[in-house]
Amino acid sequence: MKVSVFRKSHFNAAHRLNVPEWSEAKNQEVFGKCNKPNYHGHNYVMEVKLTGEIDPITGYLIDLGILKQIINEEVVDRYDHRNLNLDVPEFKNVNPTVENIAVEIFNRLRARINEHLTLGLRLYETERNFVEIEQ
d(CA 70, CA 119): 13
Residue number, 72 or 83, with CB nearest to a second copy: 83
- For residues 93 and 103, the answer to whether their CB atoms sit within 8 Å is no
Q: How far apart are CA 97 and CA 32, in angstroms?
A: 13
Around Cβ 129, how many Cβ atoms within 10 Å?
10
Catalytic position from the list 73, 81, 99, 132: 81
- Interface with a second copy (CB under 8 A), residue from 23, 25, 38, 116: 38
Catalytic residue flag (residue 73) = no
- Check residue 126 for interaction with a second copy (CB under 8 A): yes
Q: Tell me how crowded residue 72 is: count the other CB atoms within 10 A of its CB.
A: 14
Tell me which residues in 56-115 interact with a second copy (CB under 8 A): 57-61, 63-65, 80-83, 86-87, 94-100, 102-103, 106
Residue 5 · residue 55 · CB < 8 Å? no
Instruction: Please report, as ranges, the residues that interact with a second copy according to CB under 8 A.
Output: 1-10, 12-15, 17, 19, 21, 30, 32-34, 36, 38-43, 49, 54, 57-61, 63-65, 80-83, 86-87, 94-100, 102-103, 106, 126-135
Which amino acids are annotated catalytic?
A: 34, 81, 125
